[in-house]
Structure 1
Amino acid sequence: MPALTIRLAQGTPCWVSLMTDDLPGAREFYGDLLGWTFSPGPGQLGDYVRARLGGEPVAGLGVSSVAGFPVQWTTYFAVDDADRSAQLVRECGGTVAVGPLQAERAGRLAIAADVSGAVFGLWQGEEHPGREAGPQPGGPAWAELLTPDADGAAVFYRSVLGVPVAETGGGAALLVDGRPVAGVRRGAELRGHPPRWRTHFAVADVDLTARRAVELGGRVLVGPQPTPRGPAARLADPRGGHFSVLQTG
């Protein structure tokens, strides 16, 4: 009898992965800042490790095989069929850069870009279903798309992921089982940067985390400030990878 595969609901942000040109440095920075330990990841993904929090996987870190590829975090969405979802990306005007491909027995993945060029991933979980965002310090807490075309993005993700998109005070939100799981916002602060999904990690104290990031060689891009989801700050790691921290305690 085949093993039962349990996946997160279609459209749920389920994983985040950093592509960097300095994996040892990233392990040291994020391990200290967010309390992570590390274990090997699927061999097909090259030099790749899983970050763990309390023994549970929360994120992936790898080395990009593409010269000049920017250091960045990628948000993955749970899908029931990665091949079908990748085809929908193409039909809706996006592009598929990687895959779909099998990551050993962990699952099947694809890396794509939406109509504005924002990169995201598709994950069909098998042995590794992924992890849903939550308030636990050190883990992913929220995903938000910054884009010059929030309306077009809402149509794209609704069509590709098959989930409702509701208007909010500051943009829109992707809904799974009636609750918001990711935000879509017109990114006035892009200032020449390409549209992107922003990864937020939960922390107990955003001010202390921002100061510690600087001590570890990172930068504060936007200092701690109130947001609808709680105090947050935008940071960069020593190699320029942007991410946010959100105080959930």
Structure 2
Amino acid sequence: MAQRTPPPETSVNEVLAELADLEDPQARAVNERRGNDIGVNLSKLRAIAKRLKTQHEFAAELWDTGDTQARLVALLINSPKKYSAEQLNTMLREARVPKVHDWFVSYALKKNPESETRRIQWMSDPDEVVASAGWTLTSHAVAKNVDNLDLEGLLDTIETEMPQAPKQLQWAMNECLATIGIHQSEYRARALKIGERLAVLKDYPTPPNCTSPYAPEWINEMVSRQQA
């Protein structure tokens, strides 16, 4: 476990106790239906992180507890660029709770340049959770116009593998399909055709005033906003 220098003003146990005091059994019941063992309102959890401010070594201590809520606080107070590629790989494989996985991708992987060196390896990982992170990072790279992306190859893989992919991986591949269609105009027609033919998430229930995850609708909606 990493040790903080100078000595900490707040201990891990104090943070865990504070999280326990904020526990809301009803919130936990709702969250657990989505696979998240979280009983603290996320706004209150963010307030704890705001008070602690950036403390990378303390973030490592909180992460090492294995506690979901402590790990969320850790992801809000870390210094993403300080992680090595090996640390990121280990933490990604430990981030099994959906909310922790999502925040880890958003608040650590996307902000660390080492992720680009691992992204392609992760995409083909046999662990669907790890592979989904690789595809999410690839969507991020597509949107940022990262050099040397094989967009034709990505579309080939999506067209072949997405229909049978496990749920979390399928969602990430579908996001990449939509991102290509939205941000890469020369590949938009093919992305639309793939989305229409595969019809992945076509019937996904979408609340009013929200964009459907069905790739053709998603692409057309976002392109129309860009052109407005």
Same fold, judged at TM 0.5 (above): no
Does 1 or 2 have the higher relative contact order (CA < 8 Å, sep 6+)? 1
In the superposition, the TM-score normalised over structure 2's length comes to 0.30
Which one has the bigger helix percentage? Answer: 2
